Structure 1
Amino acid sequence: MRYYLNTGTDPAFNLAAEQYLLENASEDCFMLWRNHNTIVVGRNQNTLSQINPEFVEKHNIHVVRRITGGGAVYHDLGNINFTFIKVGGQAKRIDFSAYTRPILDYLNGRSVPAVLDGRNDLIVDGLKISGNAQHIHKNRVLHHGTLLFDVNLEMLATSLLVDPEKYRDKAVQSIRSRVCNIRNYLLDRPNVEQFMDDLGRHMHNAHHAVMTQFNEDDLKQINRLAGERYRQWHWNFGDSPAYNFSKSTRTPGGTIDIRMQVKDGVIQGIRIFGDFFGIDPVSDIEVLLTGCRHDSESIKNILEAVDLERHIKDVTIDHLIHSMF
């Protein structure tokens, strides 16, 4: 088994590195890595319905889609991600127990009473410390999971705080669980880097994992994949199941009630209702926004070319955009 200690914290690169190893590794791999503040959404989710967009924008939180299923998760530098790549064999079904066992053995060896709960979570005292997901590619398996070591739990909760009434779709919804940090259970109170190093040594000693680094060609291919997929709006936001959006907002100009149909991240139809006043018909705005990405920057670019005051008195562009997310 090859062991990669990936010290980069760019989520696009890290998710691309996983996919690259899945598709190209010549033998089994294990990788430890961290992301700077990021929400990672599942392959089958509607991204906007999983995030708190204003909070995400204010705190410069990255949003990236992964190739595995499951729910949205928050990463920061207090969260450790682990990845197993299994090469060869007949991968015909999802199996979480085989890949979480080495992690459980390590945690239990450090007196952390973690167990596999249900389908894909590791818990301690009923609190979640790890979520896991898998993807099968031909005869290869990618299994990855989080380890909440010393995560900012307030940021985690707020960044994923979503009004469930705004979105109607058939996408996979995240199941929110009560969580806790692993560091609380460790008597020696190591920092995150020390914990990662120790876990790496465990994998080397118990599973013969050989430290390996990406070579120049690996890095070139991973960066190419990151640019072509994981940095693209269409993959991270547009490649969501179709959904209906509705939201009612109080503004200085009155109530704004937005109803939208969105497909592939693009507004297919929109109606703007409310008790506001205006000289020109609001249907002019609806026509302009039809065909626009459901993305704040794209919407802002369109509205900046319009005298919005003539259509919706005392409502600014920011007010209207806020009512659409």
Structure 2
Amino acid sequence: MSRGGLSIPCPRQKGEKMKLKLLITDCTDPYRNLAAEEMLLRYVKPNEVLLYLWQNNNTVVIGRNQNAWRECSLEAFASENGRLARRLSGGGAVYHDLGNQNFTFLAHDDLFNTQKQSEVICLAARNFGIDAVLSGRNDILAEGRKFSGNAYYTSGDAHYHHGTILLNSDMSKLSQFLTPSKEKLQAKGVESVRSRVVNLCELNPNLTPESMRLALISSFGEIYGTLVEVVDEAVLDVLEWEKLTEHYGSREWTLGRLSDFDRQFQTRLSYGEIELRLSVSDGMIQDATMYSDAMNADWVDAVSVALKGCLFDSSAIRERLLSLIEKEQTAELSDYLCTQVLQS
């Protein structure tokens, strides 16, 4: 074990007993909370599943590869003392306030089970008489409307699964500051972001953030069948935490790099929206940036890297892209992009 309680990753020993750990914070600073989440991924041991419960106040959190200016009304949000944060995982933008409970499950390969982790959330909601069901891999619904959106991140053999639980969130701000495209809303079969989500307090007025936290702790132990051990923030190195908090709050991370470009391609594919910006000179792609709400953030980054230095030619682009993983996603993007290049 290293300084500050951070553990050195090692394989889970056969027969080693599984442990459940819980960390609850009352901090509502999104940058500090996201920094803690990343550090906990290095803290959790191979025989542990850790549940981290946290809240952000008046915050829009965007996915790792999203274009902040397209996802949020930045100036209007800043005038309301809102804070923009960017997470490590992929997926779309969400609004956080104190009427929303965030959760993160952290574990290594052997114990990371998204179905089981989602069932913890569903069981907690059912304890309040709410029939919660998992929809696909990423959403949890009640009465056909979404109250929990989930995303995932991997570093080596350690993973986290995090999400929101809408309890009594200010839906007017959610509608006011999140700006999804019309194409995204049409793909979801709704007219506005507000019409496709639900606060659980609408279904049970007696539900509070505190009662939901207690229900989550109870269902965590029940689903995994063992006792839950509480840990505190002292397991995290203070100096590293401060440094990482500064990173998450930096303009470079939250807003991202704005590159010069002379070609732009934008569409919605089966796995999400993509916006590809290319700088082309002398028939060569000098720079490439792809924004997307696709869940696989690493793949989005890989597309940008693969296109840099490539000839601006449909055959060359197709060859570069098809060398990537996620073959089905890449083939769909390649077909779209090559068609656009031929027409340009």
Cα distance change on mapping 1:72 and 1:194 into 2, 3 Å: same
Deviation at 1:81, TM superposition (A): 0.2
Mapping of 1:77-116 within 5 angstroms? 77-89=98-110, 96-116=114-134
Q: In structure 2, give the amino acid aligned to 1:193.
A: E
Which of 64, 77, 81 matches 1:43? Answer: 64
Cα distance change on mapping 1:113 and 1:65 into 2, 3 Å: same
Deviation at 1:125, TM superposition (A): 1.2
Deviation at 1:242, TM superposition (A): 7.3
SS of the residue corresponding to residue 17 of structure 1 reads helix
Deviation at 1:196, TM superposition (A): 1.8
Residue pair 2:106, 2:160 contacting (<8 A) in 1 also:
yes
Residue pair 2:124, 2:212 contacting (<8 A) in 1 also:
no
Q: Which residue of 1 aligns with 2:24?
A: 5
* Matches of 1:242 and 1:197, distance apart in 2: 50
Q: Deviations over 1:94-127 (max 9, x none)?
A: x642321111122123211111112311111111
Q: In structure 2, give the amino acid aligned to 1:235.
A: W
SS of the residue corresponding to residue 86 of structure 1 reads strand
Residue pair 2:104, 2:160 contacting (<8 A) in 1 also:
yes
Of the structure 1 ranges 148-157 and 101-110, higher mean CA displacement relative to structure 2 is found in 101-110
Mapping of 1:192-207 within 5 angstroms? 192-204=209-221, 206-207=223-224
Q: Deviations over 1:129-176 (max 9, x none)?
A: 0000001111111100100011000101111036779xxxxxxxxx94
Residue pair 2:101, 2:167 contacting (<8 A) in 1 also:
yes
Q: Deviations over 1:217-242 (max 9, x none)?
A: 53432222111x20111111124787
Q: Which residue of 2 aligns with 1:15?
A: 34
Q: Which residue of 2 aligns with 1:279?
A: none
Percent of aligned pairs with the same residue?
Answer: 31
Two-structure CA RMSD over aligned residues (Å): 2.9
Deviation at 1:206, TM superposition (A): 4.9
Of the structure 1 ranges 73-82 and 25-34, higher mean CA displacement relative to structure 2 is found in 25-34
* Matches of 1:205 and 1:36, distance apart in 2: 30
In structure 1, list runs of 5 or more residues that go unmatched. 166-174, 247-260, 269-325
Cα distance change on mapping 1:217 and 1:152 into 2, 3 Å: closer
Residue pair 1:38, 1:64 contacting (<8 A) in 2 also:
yes
Deviation at 1:12, TM superposition (A): 0.2
* Matches of 1:61 and 1:105, distance apart in 2: 32
More helix by share: 2
Mapping of 1:147-186 within 5 angstroms? 147-161=165-179, 176=193, 178-186=196-204
* Matches of 1:115 and 1:153, distance apart in 2: 22
Q: Which residue of 1 aligns with 2:256?
A: 238
Which of 111, 136, 139 matches 1:118? Answer: 136
Residue pair 1:204, 1:210 contacting (<8 A) in 2 also:
no
Residue pair 2:27, 2:54 contacting (<8 A) in 1 also:
yes
Q: Count how many residue pairs are aligned between Structure 1 and Structure 2.
A: 236
* Matches of 1:24 and 1:44, distance apart in 2: 26
Q: Deviations over 1:9-34 (max 9, x none)?
A: 00001001110011232232101110
| 2:62 aligned with 1:34 | no
Residue pair 1:28, 1:86 contacting (<8 A) in 2 also:
yes
Deviation at 1:244, TM superposition (A): 7.7
Cα distance change on mapping 1:241 and 1:121 into 2, 3 Å: farther
> TM-score w.r.t. structure 1 length?
0.65
Cα distance change on mapping 1:185 and 1:65 into 2, 3 Å: same
Which of 50, 58, 75 matches 1:54? Answer: 75
Cα distance change on mapping 1:226 and 1:244 into 2, 3 Å: farther
Q: Which residue of 2 aligns with 1:67?
A: 88
| 2:146 aligned with 1:128 | yes
